[in-house]
Amino acid sequence: LYKEQFGRGPTRVRSHFAGPDTVVVVLEETFTPAERNLAAMGEHQRLRDVRLFFQYATEEQLCGIVEAILGRRVRAFISGIDSRKDVSAEVFALEPRAG
């Protein structure tokens, strides 16, 4: 999805459960050439704003992928980025398992 939406995918991705109902996905080196230029210009807030806008524009698709893989509903999505290190995190809070 990253490659489809942003033109390139991350070079490294790690997914971890943080307890029974939370998944954290850490992605590295996802910036496009234009985003790298913004970082080089020191435009970190602008870069974060643009990237987060795009992340939330694809929220439904991101959550859909997690739901399909895990067979559980996502109840909340949180996205964050470190624009100086080109590392981002997507956090998916899942609905608790029944029973």
Per-residue pLDDT of 45-71, as tens digits, reads: 999 999 888 888 899 999 999 999 999
Q: What is the pLDDT of residue 99?
A: 66
CA distances 23 to 20, 40, 63, 65, Å, are: 8, 31, 11, 12
For the full predicted model, state whether its pTM sits above 0.85.
yes
